[in-house]
Structure 1
Amino acid sequence: MSFVWIALNALRVLSIFSLVLVISTCIIVNVKGFTSLGQSNIIFQFLNRCVIGIEALILILVEIGWPRIFGWFPVLQSWTFFGFLQAITGSFILGYDSGINSYSFLGYSLFIFIIIPGWFVFIIGIIYILLGVFGGQRLKQQRQIGGRSEKSRPPPYTV
C-alpha cells in the first residue's frame, strides 16, 4: 500500500462521514424548525434542507461506488464536479437563513453542530476540485479498493 492510496481512501472516509453529518444536520434543523413552518420563507428553507439531504445521500452513494448511480448521473465520475457539488453543499449549509440558523434559536451546541459539517464538506469539496484538476483519472485509479491496480492494467492502445 502506498501513501497516496491511504491518503485518498482517508479522504473518502472523511467525505462519507461529513456527508452523513450533513444529512443529520438537515434532519435536526428541519425537525427543530418544523413548528414555524407556516411563516413566509421557512417553507423554502425546509425544502432547501430536504434537497441538500438528498444531494448528500447521492454523493455518499457516489463515494462508496454504487455502480448504478453513474448511469443516472454520469457527470459525477469527475472528481472536479463531485468536489464542486460538495463545496456548494457546504456553502448552502453555511448560508442557512439567519432566522433558523441563529445562535438564539438553535442554542450553542446545535449551532456548532451545523457550522462544523458545513465547513468540513466545503473544504473536502475544494480538495476534490484540486485533485480532479491536477490528478484526474490517474489518482482515481490509484484509490481503487480491490480492483486492478495501475500496474496490472494493459498498456493504452497506440497506433
Structure 2
Amino acid sequence: MSYIWIALNALRVLSIFSLVLVISTCVIVNAKGFSSLGQSNVIFQFMNRTAIGVEALILILVEIGIPKIFGWFPVLNSWTFFGFLQVITGSLILGYDSGINSYSFLGYSLYIFIIVPGWFVFIIGIIYIILGIIGGQPLKQRRQLGGRSEKSRPPPYTV
C-alpha cells in the first residue's frame, strides 16, 4: 500500500463526509425555514438548498463509484469538473447571508454548522481541481482498491 493510495482514499472519505454534512445542513435549514416560505426570497433559497442537496447526493454516488451515474453524467468522470462542482457547492452555501441562512434566523450554532461544511466542500473541491490538472486519470486509477489499476498489474504466473 502506498502513501499516495492512502492520501487519495482519505480525500475520498473526507469528500463523502463533507457532502453528507452538506445534505444534512440542507435538510435542517429547509425544515427550519419551511414556515417562512411566503416571505420574499425564502422560496428561492429553499429551492436552492434542495438543488444543492440533490447535487451533493449525486456527487456522493460518484465518489462511491456507482458506474451507472457516469452513464447519466459522463463529465463527472473528470476530477477537475468534480472539484469545480464542489467549489460551486461550497460557494453557494457560503454566499447566502440573508433569508433562511442568516445568523439572526438560524442562531449561532446552526449558522456555524452550515458555514463549516461550506468551507470544507470548497477546500476539498480546490484540491480535486489541482489533482485533476496535475494527475488526472493516472491518479484516479491509483486510488482504486488494491492501489493499482488493472493495466498496471503484472501478468499472472503461468507454467
When normalised by structure 1's length, the TM-score is 0.92
Instruction: Determine the C-alpha separation between the residues in 2 that align with 1:97 and 1:108.
Output: 13
Structure 2 vs 1, CA of residues 153 and 132 (structure 1 numbering), >3 Å: closer, same or farther? farther
Q: 1:141 to 1:105 in 2, by over 3 A?
A: same
**Aligned CA-pair RMSD:** 1.5
How far has the Cα of 1:41 moved from its partner? Answer: 1.3
Within the alignment, does 1:9 sit opposite 2:37 as a pair?
A: no
Question: Which residue in the other structure is 2:86 paired with?
Answer: 86
SS at match of 1:14: helix
Indicate yes or no: 2:48 matched with 1:53: no
Answer yes or no: is the 8 Å Cα contact 1:102–1:111 preserved in 2.
yes
Residue 140 of structure 2 corresponds to: 140
Matched with 1:69 is: 69
Q: Structure 1 residues 139, 5: closer, same or farther in 2, change over 3 A?
A: same
Structure 2 CA distance for aligned equivalents of residues 153 and 59 of structure 1: 33
**Structure 1 unpaired stretches of 5+:** 155-159
Give 1:23-38 correspondences, 5 Å limit: 23-38=23-38
TM-score computed with the length of structure 2 as normaliser: 0.92
Structure 2 regions of 5+ residues with no counterpart?
none
Amino acid aligned to 1:12? R
CA distance in 1, matches of 2:73, 2:147: 22
Identity of aligned residues (%): 82
Q: How many residues align?
A: 154
Letter in 1 for 2:82: F
Cα displacement (A) at 1:151: 2.8
Using the TM superposition, give the Cα deviation of residue 96 of structure 1 relative to its aligned residue in structure 2, in angstroms: 2.0
Assess if the C-alpha contact under 8 Å between 1:45 and 1:97 holds in 2.
no
